[in-house]
Structure 1
């Protein structure tokens, strides 16, 4: 495809692709439109217009569900249905939910159903969370923007780390062109002129539109930044039409806490839906491991070895992980090291509660006393092997232990390839 991005799913997207095709291939505009329509999956531009207009007229129903519990006395399920101009999968991909403002806690239960698995503390909160999630879906449907999920997509927006008064930010890109949009939603106390001057110095446009935003509409003030001229010219009209459509009040379904909503897509698939995850009973060992972490409905347990590792071994491993977790360590591998470090810090506190460990010993372990970074590749590999050996000797064989050792083995493999001159 000429654009290099996902195929257009709207008439506006097809028209934008046609402009690129016309310029790249030097063909008449009507032929470029037909070519763009074919690349989008239609017979020609007329067929695309007929199909997309019919879809918009019909709309696509999407369902959003949240559970709530106020102590033991009251609990329930709330489900809201909304109409979108295109299928949910054409608006946001499964892997993008965690990066989208107001959608991060939702799980794609089926093609037309989003479910927030973890309980909220009241019916009013559950309803507000669903309406807020709906606001984000309508925003994406109206603008064609998607949440940025990769370093490549976010990299151009790192400049906003220095934006004066930066608050409640979210990162977006246009689904057709890849052009970025930075959305910042501070409260009104920020210095507007200072922010305008900051953007002007960097040739960044602030899109002016009568729109209340995604975060706390009516209180926070949305600032939409971008550098792409076409996108900057297009967004005001889209956002103002979105604002004019209004935001409805609650008109969803309230049901029993123990009921599970099954939408049309799930019914059509014929596959039974999975129940919500629940934490395992505390203190009951399974296959040499004990559960810990979340206690509420909708949360799966984390697991740790049932038998603790010696405090001395923790105090040996901790400084090594600290010394590996630094800026010059390769990014993906550093994140894995950080994950191992954080996990062992949790286990340490659970294994040695109260006065079984002094504050001095705790500070000597994973996050306290400063450690000089290990920067030589051979020394890094030696440290990783040493940590894995100490974990293998310090804990009995069980799933949680073996998972950490596997993570370290992957880091060792990737670093070994880098040391031999092969790309990571």
Structure 2
């Protein structure tokens, strides 16, 4: 270690502590104190107190709008969190959708996140915001980023090797080392320490329980960290950063609200929303009244569907075609095709539910059975229909049924393009 090094920031002290820990083989907390003394502080706690009082914090605002049909009331909830860096340094725009708790969020200004999803009540809105805040402070404290390749966080890169107690998982990676990290938060009563320990030994992985209350459900779901132990990753340092969050004052109960509550949908503008474009973006999509056009009808938060209706019987027959193809996926249907068809049937199910009313108190079919469940069990009458001799013919027929039932518009074209893409994938695979 170079004794002339005198770090002047918390991050600099942490970097020096990492070198000290490796060179002297001492615990991480002792290395932090040594690095702090090298920076002319009494210890790490003293450095934190002195440097944090001088640093400029970045305020991030989060906003959710809500509408409670039972109470016939609406409102807006906004909360703020202080970060050491701008939010863009913690999570990029493209990564936001990969983070649980932030998937329906937009960065509308450098200091403002807005949920486009309309919460069903004030309680739900506050819970959404508190969970998002916990996730953001976790990301800032650890430096971890969301990982798109979820299987990489498991031994041998297969979800079949998941920890026995896993529930509510999130998948991360450390940008400096590339190490994949699994975080999961099961309900306390479902944790099996013996099975987890056996799993850890069998795969040579780190498995640690944090002292922090966690992101998903504080007080009910303990937080566990699992990562490969064979690659020399400094899991002790990671756990120190997570455990340190337990000393941070948190508001985890929606009833102990410290944010801003407004009994209407008046748009909240953050201090950095300066341009007219910033102010337009600040409006949640769920609060914008959208009109039907000659070709499409709005539904959901920002989706649109064709301004026409497919008969329920046609939906049933189309569902049989798609399910028959998907259920023959191994070894005939490649992943590229099944992924597109999953999007197709999910969208068609949404359209069907918007087009037709289903009553739980009558003998109506369960709408989920139309495009999901086993092809031979859910709709026995339709499953007896004459099916084409191969999957490509089935998808060609499915595409024709969509084109016949719906008027030409962008939503219909998106569906037919997905079906055409599935057909091309199957042809390449055959």
Q: Of the candidates 337, 341, 346, which is equivalent to residue 345 of structure 2?
A: 341
Alignment-derived partner of residue 149 in structure 2: 150
Is 1:401 matched with 2:412?
yes
Q: Comparing 347-356 with 168-177, which one deviates more in the overlay?
A: 347-356
Q: Tell me, in whole angstroms, the C-alpha distance in 1 between the residues paired with 2:257 and 2:369.
A: 50
Q: Tell me, in whole angstroms, the C-alpha distance in 2 between the residues paired with 1:109 and 1:55.
A: 29
Secondary structure of residue in 2 paired with 1:69: strand
**How do 1:216-235 residues align onto structure 2 when only pairs under 5 Å count?**
216-228=217-229, 229-235=232-238
Aligned length: 367
Secondary structure of residue in 1 paired with 2:172: strand
Query: What residue ranges of structure 2 are gaps of 5+ in the alignment?
Result: 1-10, 21-50, 377-382
Alignment-derived partner of residue 46 in structure 2: none
Measure how far apart 1:98 and its partner are: 3.0
- The verdict on how the C-alpha distance between 1:135 and 1:349 changes in structure 2, with shifts beyond 3 A counting, is closer
Q: Comparing 145-154 with 334-343, which one deviates more in the overlay?
A: 145-154
Measure how far apart 1:159 and its partner are: 4.2
Q: Tell me, in whole angstroms, the C-alpha distance in 2 between the residues paired with 1:89 and 1:209.
A: 26
In 2, are the aligned partners of 1:188 and 1:221 still within 8 Å (CA)? yes
- The verdict on how the C-alpha distance between 1:180 and 1:251 changes in structure 2, with shifts beyond 3 A counting, is same
Is 1:277 matched with 2:275?
no
Q: Tell me, in whole angstroms, the C-alpha distance in 2 between the residues paired with 1:103 and 1:144.
A: 17
In 1, are the aligned partners of 2:208 and 2:225 still within 8 Å (CA)? yes
- The verdict on how the C-alpha distance between 1:364 and 1:179 changes in structure 2, with shifts beyond 3 A counting, is closer
TM-score, normalising length: structure 1: 0.72
In 1, are the aligned partners of 2:58 and 2:82 still within 8 Å (CA)? yes
**How do 1:404-415 residues align onto structure 2 when only pairs under 5 Å count?**
404-415=415-426
Secondary structure of residue in 2 paired with 1:79: strand
Measure how far apart 1:368 and its partner are: 4.7
Measure how far apart 1:168 and its partner are: 1.9
- The verdict on how the C-alpha distance between 1:257 and 1:235 changes in structure 2, with shifts beyond 3 A counting, is same
Measure how far apart 1:203 and its partner are: 0.6
**What is the alpha-carbon root mean square deviation over aligned residues?**
4.0
Q: Tell me, in whole angstroms, the C-alpha distance in 1 between the residues paired with 2:367 and 2:159.
A: 40
Measure how far apart 1:394 and its partner are: 3.8
Q: Comparing 198-207 with 122-131, which one deviates more in the overlay?
A: 122-131
Alignment-derived partner of residue 198 in structure 1: 199
Is 1:319 matched with 2:325?
no
Q: Tell me, in whole angstroms, the C-alpha distance in 1 between the residues paired with 2:367 and 2:227.
A: 49
In 2, are the aligned partners of 1:305 and 1:401 still within 8 Å (CA)? no
Query: What per-residue deviation string (whole Å, max 9, x for no partner) do you get for residues 60-116 of structure 1?
Result: 221111123334654322221211111211111223223323323322222221112
- The verdict on how the C-alpha distance between 1:59 and 1:324 changes in structure 2, with shifts beyond 3 A counting, is same
TM-score, normalising length: structure 2: 0.71
Alignment-derived partner of residue 110 in structure 1: 109
Q: Comparing 239-248 with 152-161, which one deviates more in the overlay?
A: 152-161
Q: Tell me, in whole angstroms, the C-alpha distance in 1 between the residues paired with 2:225 and 2:173.
A: 12
Query: What residue ranges of structure 1 are gaps of 5+ in the alignment?
Result: 1-9, 20-52, 420-424
In 1, are the aligned partners of 2:312 and 2:356 still within 8 Å (CA)? no
Q: Tell me, in whole angstroms, the C-alpha distance in 2 between the residues paired with 1:86 and 1:418.
A: 47
Measure how far apart 1:357 and its partner are: 10
Query: What per-residue deviation string (whole Å, max 9, x for no partner) do you get for residues 237-271 of structure 1?
Result: 21222222232564322335222122233316864
Q: Tell me, in whole angstroms, the C-alpha distance in 1 between the residues paired with 2:365 and 2:219.
A: 46
In 1, are the aligned partners of 2:108 and 2:278 still within 8 Å (CA)? no
Q: Of the candidates 240, 248, 264, which is equivalent to residue 237 of structure 1?
A: 240
- The verdict on how the C-alpha distance between 1:153 and 1:209 changes in structure 2, with shifts beyond 3 A counting, is same
